Amino acid sequence: MSGAAASGGKGPDVYVRPEFVVETLGEAEIGDVERKLSGLERAWNVNGVRKATILIGLVVAWQVYTVALDVEPLMFPRFSTSAEALWLSLIDSDLLRKIWFSVSTLLIGYTTGLALSAALVLWASAQRIGADFLSTCTAMFNPLPAIALLPLAMLWFGLGTASIVFVTIHSVLWAVALSTHTGFQSVSETLRMIGQNYGLRNIRYVMKILIPAALPSILSGMKIGWAFSWRTLIGAELVFGASSGSGGLGWFIYENSQNLETAHVFAGLFTVILIGITVENVIFRNVELRTVYRWGMQR
């Protein structure tokens, strides 16, 4: 091992070792070169399984807490009571109709908001003054909570669906427009040049290059817009849901809290949460899986 003879003053020379070549590589004595994971290990790798476990844990904690300490049901009903109230409202009362009322109002506001933001972004992409308009308006209106506009909306459009739609549009428009515009701006120069090279101009260029290339930002804007508008809608309904005699989910919650039906209030909250989760984790998630994930644009 003393091959590194110290010669000269620049430290040890290169230590020359004998070469070797492995003629036959040994058969697998390595053990687990490849092993199938056990059923439990595989199940734990599924996103949904882990999240469901967390949910079940929360529910159990809730139930144990309320039963063991015998909490006053008026203040904090048991999970079982709340679930029962939800089930009963679904089959007996008009909860389904209220859900539909809320969701349809939301869809009107959401789609109108998307259309308006599309128009705004197109203008912003075409002209500099449009871009200035968009960034100024977004800076002004995006931080403004939609609910703060509700009094004005009531003044202008009266106590009804129109006012709710107005504030919903407000909550969607700026978030979506901002993220779409940012997405367009960050489309790489190479892709832009490719689009022009193959003769794409104007609207065809926007549809075939800019929108797909900016889809990750557009989708995240749509998700944020969705969450904003859903919150705004429920909030607005809490304020004056029953004006037209047929309130939505917000009104269901408000009405039941007035009647001290706390379990039903929880049932209403469950519904709000469930719809929120469904849209986020089923609809948007599937769109993402089929587009941006599949294309490797987002992980």
Partner 1 sequence: MAEATRAAAGPAPAAAPTPILDVDGVTLQYKTKEHLITATYRVGFQVYPSDRFVLLGPSGCGKSTLLKGVAGYMKPVEGEMRLKGRGISEPGPDRVMVFQEFDQLLPWKTVRQNITFALINGGRCATGAEADDIARQYIRKVKLDRFEDTYPHMLSGGMKQRVAIARGMAMEPDVLLMDEPFAALDALTRRQMQEELLQLWEDTHFTVLFVTHSIEEACIVGSRILVLSPHPGQVKAELNAHHLGHEDVGGEPFSALQKRIHDMLFADRILEEEAAPHA
- Examine residue 294 and tell whether it contacts partner 1 (CB under 8 A): yes
Residue with tokens 């109002």: 105
> Under a CB-based contact definition with an 8 Å cutoff, are residues 113 and 225 in contact?
yes
The separation between the first and the last C-alpha atoms of the chain, rounded to the nearest angstrom, is 51
- Examine residue 188 and tell whether it contacts partner 1 (CB under 8 A): yes
- Examine residue 199 and tell whether it contacts partner 1 (CB under 8 A): yes
- Examine residue 194 and tell whether it contacts partner 1 (CB under 8 A): yes
Number of C-alpha atoms within 13 angstroms, CB side, residue 169? 16
- Examine residue 202 and tell whether it contacts partner 1 (CB under 8 A): no
How far apart are alpha carbons 149 and 59 in whole angstroms? 37
Q: How far is the CB of 115 from partner 1 (least distance, A)?
A: 23
Q: Which is nearer to partner 1, 164 or 292 (CB)?
A: 292
- Examine residue 47 and tell whether it contacts partner 1 (CB under 8 A): no
- Examine residue 215 and tell whether it contacts partner 1 (CB under 8 A): yes
Q: Please pick, from the candidates 74, 193, 273, 277, the single residue that binds partner 1 as defined by CB under 8 A.
A: 193
The alpha carbon dihedral of 117, 122, 125, 126 has a sign of: negative
Q: How far is the CB of 75 from partner 1 (least distance, A)?
A: 53
Q: Amino acid letter at 262?
A: T
Q: Which is nearer to partner 1, 156 or 198 (CB)?
A: 198
Total number of residues binding partner 1 (CB under 8 A)?
A: 21
Strands (E) located in 52-148: none
> Under a CB-based contact definition with an 8 Å cutoff, are residues 136 and 199 in contact?
no
How far apart are alpha carbons 49 and 251 in whole angstroms? 34
Q: How far is the CB of 175 from partner 1 (least distance, A)?
A: 23
- Examine residue 204 and tell whether it contacts partner 1 (CB under 8 A): yes
> Under a CB-based contact definition with an 8 Å cutoff, are residues 168 and 233 in contact?
yes
- Examine residue 291 and tell whether it contacts partner 1 (CB under 8 A): yes
- Examine residue 185 and tell whether it contacts partner 1 (CB under 8 A): no
Q: Which stretch binds partner 1 (CB under 8 A): 51-59, 139-147, 184-192, 271-279?
A: 184-192
Q: Which stretch binds partner 1 (CB under 8 A): 110-118, 129-137, 210-218, 265-273?
A: 210-218
Given phi > 0 = left and psi -120 to 50 = alpha, else beta, which region is 245?
A: left
- Examine residue 296 and tell whether it contacts partner 1 (CB under 8 A): yes
Residue with tokens 């939505």: 248
- Examine residue 200 and tell whether it contacts partner 1 (CB under 8 A): yes
- Examine residue 197 and tell whether it contacts partner 1 (CB under 8 A): yes
> Under a CB-based contact definition with an 8 Å cutoff, are residues 90 and 96 in contact?
yes
CB atoms within 10 A of CB 176: 29
Residues forming the site for partner 1 (CB under 8 A): 188, 190-191, 193-194, 196-200, 204, 208-209, 212-213, 215, 291, 294-297
